[in-house]
Structure 1
Amino acid sequence: MSKEQKAIRSSGWKTDFLIGFPEGLLLLFFTTYLSHGLPVTVQQFYTINTCIWLAVSVLVMLTAYQANRGDTQHDESTLSPEERRKLERLNISEPIIENIAAEMQKDAALWEETLRTEHVEERHFNKSTAIRSGLLTGIFFLTGGILPLIPYLRNEQFPTAASTSVLTCGIAITIFSFLKSRMTSQPAIPVILRNLAYTGAVWLGAYVMLTIFK
């Protein structure tokens, strides 16, 4: 990065856990439940879901790294000379450009006030921290993703394994929600119910798609 702008970045393993674990859990829950009833062989089922599990984990790592890295183009709180020249080339009048610059400054001031009110810490970009965050997010994604897959690895009777996978995901998302409520100082019951509703929506989506493609 050419400048050391501050931005909201991962605050540690807790942030990475809260992002990576549920993404892995729900994605593999969806793909395993959807594919278990399709006309695929056992080996094809394992290959498809293992490839999804590993490939998406890499994407999650890269995304987490990029999120920590930030985007210097949008870190500026004022209208940069380059942006001003772009607006001028579009034949936008000077009063409108000045109005845009003023609105950007007001938004920046409001954002700073919001951060102070919510006690949110902004940090300078640190490459090693960003890499660590990316790796941890990927590891938590892999950990969450293996849980719905384990029942199918243990039992090749996929209808039975699917029921076990649903139960496993329900328990896992409940435990995760409780941990999340403690980490974020939120009431546990609303967080648990909300995440169970998300899990139910994922199951319903997979069930409907399976019914269509079966």
Structure 2
Amino acid sequence: MHNEQHVTSSETIRDIVIGMSDGLTVPFALAAGLSGAISSSGIVVTAGIAEIVAGSIAMGLGGFLAGRTEVDHYQSELKREYDEVERVPEQEKIEVMEVFADFGLSAPLQQQIADEMSKDKKKWVDFMMRYELGLEEPHANRATKSAITIGLSYIIGGIIPLSPYLIESNSQIALYYSCGITLICLFIFGYFKSKMTGQPAFSGAFKVVIIGALAAGAAFMMAKLINGK
């Protein structure tokens, strides 16, 4: 028996990836930059928490607006398709036939399918939405769920690079621990993200680590340069 394995990345997983990716990277870069300019971990924590709160709200709002746009776009196209099957049904039948022509079906069979499909307007429109426009109906609460998932993922990701600063008062020392913890988490995150999206796991993990390290390193060096130390 042949078992096929397919990668299925759900919308929730995609939102977690978006939130965690920025949550791990941005606060990490901020903490590294501040550590290059000041020695107090307290200030780093205060600034980091402020950034996490602002970032999670901004990311969540972005996810909400994207979700609402997706719903509004789908509803607009749905209304247009219903209008077209009422006004120009023959043209819509031709479009159905064109879809099946791409599958190699004969012209008589294309015509038969189009005629049968036109008897049920809902199924006809659903077919056109999916196969002509490539649109899947989004869930009604998609926008809210996306906002919450992205926002919480950002917060979870952001706490990781800040955690050493909560324990160690010297920001320079805390930075070393933060680098170690965050880079390990970035590797794990990149590994599983690559696995879920069907990409080479280890190369994907190293790419995520390199991006995070470059962002933090650039922020740290810039702070050192500006501070003159």
- TM-score calculated relative to the size of structure 1: 0.68
Which residue of 193, 197, 221 corresponds with 1:208? 221
Q: What CA deviation, in whole Å up to 9, does each residue of 1:32-89 have, x standing for no partner?
A: 1111232475443322211111111001100011112226579988xx9xxxxxxxxx
Any conservation in 1 of the 2:190–2:205 contact (CA below 8 Å)?
A: yes
C-alpha distance in 2 between matches for 1:76 and 1:190 = 41
Number of aligned residue pairs: 165
| Structure 1 pair 43–199 and aligned structure 2 pair: CA distance change class (3 A) | closer
By how many angstroms is 1:141 displaced?
0.6
SS at match of 2:199: coil
Give the equivalent residue in structure 1 for 2:31.
Answer: 32
Question: 2:14 — aligned with what?
Answer: 15
The letter for the 1-side match of 2:166 is L
What amino acid maps onto 2:156 in structure 1? T
1:185 — aligned with what?
198
The percent identity for this pair of structures is: 24
**Structure 1 residues 1-214: aligned runs within 5 Å:** 11-39=10-38, 41-70=40-69, 122-214=135-227
- CA distance in 1 between counterparts of 2:40 and 2:171 reads 11
> Residues 190, 45 of structure 1: CA spacing in aligned structure 2 closer, same or farther, 3 A cutoff?
closer
With normalisation by structure 2, the TM-score equals 0.64
Partner Cα distance (1:163, 1:75) in 2: 51
Distance of aligned partners of 1:123 and 1:165 in 2 relative to their CA distance in 1, 3 Å threshold: same
Offset of residue 24 of structure 1? 0.5
CA RMSD in angstroms, aligned pairs only: 2.6
Give, in whole Å, the separation in 2 of the partners of 1:123 and 1:74: 8
**Paired residue type of 2:65:** Q
CA contact (8 A) 2:39 2:172 kept: no
Q: 1: CA distance between counterparts of 2:75 and 2:180?
A: 44
Contact 1:69 1:125 (C-alpha < 8 Å) held by counterparts: no
Q: Give how far 1:210 is off.
A: 1.5
- Secondary structure (helix, strand or coil) at the match of 1:123 reads coil
Q: Which residue type is aligned with residue 11 of structure 2?
A: G
CA distance change for structure 1 residues 190 and 74 in 2, over 3 Å: closer, same or farther? same
Q: Contact conserved, 1:152 with 1:161, CA < 8 A, in 2?
A: yes
Q: Do 2:30 and 2:216's aligned partners in 1 also have CA atoms closer than 8 Å?
A: no
* 2-structure distance, mates of 1:127, 1:133: 11
Larger mean Cα displacement after TM superposition, 202-211 or 16-25: 202-211
